[in-house]
Chains A and B, each alone.
Chain A
Amino acid sequence: MTPLLETRGPTPLLETRGLGRAFGALQAVAGVSLAVQPMELRAVIGPNGAGKTTLFHLISGLLAPTAGHVLFRGDDVTALAAPARCRRGISRTFQITSIFPELSVLENVRIAVQLKIGDNFRLLGGRAVLEASEQRARDSLRLLGLDDRADELASTLPHGDQRLLEIAMAAAQEPALLLLDEPTQGLSPEDTAATVAVIRQVARERKLTIILVEHDMDVVFDLADRISVLHFGQLIAEGTAAEIRANAEVQKAYLGGLD
């Protein structure tokens, strides 16, 4: 169908074709074509300013691309705005923690479920919706190990738990594709290890496809099935952890720069 990609076998859950976004003269993302298979855990890495977060905004629909297409389950969703893409099954977290600070931990997750399952314009009553969404929210909090903090205000949680809360909100929506933007950002080594374990568990239990933007190379090599490397907005390499480690271009662009 497209000369850019060889798509063999099953339809990828997510595919981008020649995806690009320019901010004025700056080409933040350029010609990115990638395909993520169902149940895959894909990491996107790259130096600061490589366009990783912009790529996430393009996939989740918060930004409209200036070139290319986004396909989800084989359908072109490029024209859909962020809410519609979420309803189709793409949920995400943010690099800078984005929660509802003055609502309870439980309500943060519950509203995420409610917004997905609907009946949002019930002006009176709506007990059934509230209870159903609360049930799913509690399940998700348990999965992330936050169930004992359900009644606290989200703003009072420590940073690490707020990062987990965001994952709980996204996971509670039972998406097909989960986008995690630097889930371990700002975490201590212990919290990072715990978060990695939780992500692996969520992926397994919920049978999720995950795309992960991450700076921590240990996390990436530990978690990811495949890794895509962005550099100045372009995809310069893609492969397994071993292949990426061995890739000379990647080492020059990124890994070497860290030492």
Chain B
Amino acid sequence: MIPSRLSALAALVALAVVPWVLARHQLSLLTDLLIAGLFAMSLDLIMGYTGMVSFGHAAYFGLGAYASALVLLHFAQPVPVALLAGALLAGAVAVPVGWFSTRATGIYFAMLTLAFAQFLYTVAYKWRDLTGGSDGIAGVPKTPLFWGGPSLASSRAFYFLVAACVVLSLFVCRAVVRSPFGRALQAIRENERRFTSLGRDPRPFKLVVFVIAAVFAGLAGALFAPFRGFASPEVMFWVFSGQGLMMVIMGGIGTLVGPVLGAMLFILIQEVLSSYTEHWMIFTGVVFVLIVIFLPGGLVGTARRLGARG
């Protein structure tokens, strides 16, 4: 209890001081890691806590990115408005998708989420007038925090916005998984039939958590678009959904903070190795296999097991 609180405090302090320690490109990389971390954390809500493996989570990241890009480009609203738009659009689309997908379980649920995500990807790819097709939307501006308010154009300012969003999301998600609702999700993950026979239909629970996960993925995407200055169909492609699963498993499924670390590790490997070789995925794959075999429970799950033993 105390060590985990200490490490949380240490992490917060570290997040607060790194902008004065790191070089600009390093800070920019860290911002990238945090955005990917938020995406992986949102996936953990359904995957780790509810036992619903989605193969289409990138769709909600992408929806958030497009909504954010369009709001910033065409309406020149402050960034938080774009974030809200991204989160809301992702959540709104997740309602019908979740309503259909949660009718199935296991691999069939995974396939349905994949099918819907690929459908959304195709829409983004083909609807040139709105999305710019395969080119995507470029030149997305970093508008201020509010009109007349602080500018977010510097990499330090935008880093703080992202870090604040990620930390806040982590606290909200933690509260959710510890709430009566979150406890019910974990019971569904453990034994759906038992859950049903104890008096509740699991489906409304699954739908609600699916939408919540989409909202946070949408938020991550909505941060991504102004940060990188563009939104393109690749962020909705199934490959990114699959990478999300890897991030969650590497970091520690069902731990929330684990997937953030898993995402950071994943993107770091990619970032560092892709400047040497285009085959960086081989190395990522090796690391993934090693973690699955030797560190079951991922980085955080293993650390907690060791901590409990010592």
Q: Is B197 an interface residue (CB 8 A)?
A: yes
- Whether the pair B183, A107 counts as a contact (CB closer than 8 A) is yes
Complex partner residue of B197 from A92, A100, A101, A122, CB under 8 angstroms: A92
Which A residues lie within 8 Å of B195 (CB)?
115
Complex partner residue of B198 from A123, A126, A130, A173, CB under 8 angstroms: A173
Q: Is B181 an interface residue (CB 8 A)?
A: yes
Q: Is A87 an interface residue (CB 8 A)?
A: yes
Which B residues lie within 8 Å of A114 (CB)?
180, 183-184
Query: Bound state CA distance, A91 and B200, in angstroms?
Result: 12
**B258 to nearest A CB, angstroms?**
16
Quick one: given A81-B201, A115-B198, A116-B198, are A100 and B181 in contact (CB under 8 Å)?
no
Q: Is B186 an interface residue (CB 8 A)?
A: yes
Which B residues lie within 8 Å of A98 (CB)?
191, 193-194, 197
Complex partner residue of A100 from B190, B205, B208, CB under 8 angstroms: B190
Q: Is A120 an interface residue (CB 8 A)?
A: yes
Chain A positions 113-161 with a Cβ under 8 Å from a chain B Cβ: 114-116, 119-126, 129-130
Which A residues lie within 8 Å of B183 (CB)?
107, 110-111, 114, 130
Q: Is B26 an interface residue (CB 8 A)?
A: no
Q: Is A186 an interface residue (CB 8 A)?
A: no
Chain B interface size, as a band, is 20 to 34
A-B contact count, CB below 8 Å?
92
Which A residues lie within 8 Å of B201 (CB)?
81, 83
- Whether the pair A87, B180 counts as a contact (CB closer than 8 A) is no
- Whether the pair A130, B180 counts as a contact (CB closer than 8 A) is yes
- Interface 1/0 per residue, B123-155 and A, CB below 8 Å: 000000000000000000000000000000000
Which B residues lie within 8 Å of A82 (CB)?
196-197
Complex partner residue of B184 from A99, A120, A125, CB under 8 angstroms: A120
Quick one: given A82-B197, A83-B196, are A123 and B187 in contact (CB under 8 Å)?
no
Q: Is B199 an interface residue (CB 8 A)?
A: yes
Q: Is B175 an interface residue (CB 8 A)?
A: yes
Q: Is B176 an interface residue (CB 8 A)?
A: yes
- Whether the pair A103, B187 counts as a contact (CB closer than 8 A) is yes
- Whether the pair B199, A123 counts as a contact (CB closer than 8 A) is no
13 contacts between A and B (CB under 8 A): A83-B199, A83-B200, A91-B198, A103-B187, A111-B184, A115-B195, A120-B181, A120-B200, A122-B180, A122-B181, A123-B181, A125-B175, A126-B181
Knowing that A83-B201, A123-B176, A125-B179 are A-B contacts, what are 20 other residue pairs whose CB atoms are under 8 Å apart, sorted by A's residue number?
A60-B197, A82-B196, A82-B197, A83-B196, A86-B198, A98-B193, A98-B194, A99-B191, A100-B190, A111-B183, A115-B184, A115-B199, A120-B181, A120-B184, A121-B208, A122-B179, A123-B181, A123-B182, A125-B175, A169-B198
Chain A residues packing against B (C-beta within 8 Å) = 60, 62, 81-83, 86-87, 91-92, 94, 98-103, 107, 110-112, 114-116, 119-126, 129-130, 169, 173
Report the 7 A-B pairs with minimum CB-CB distance, sorted nearest first: A100-B190, A86-B199, A126-B180, A122-B180, A115-B198, A111-B187, A98-B194
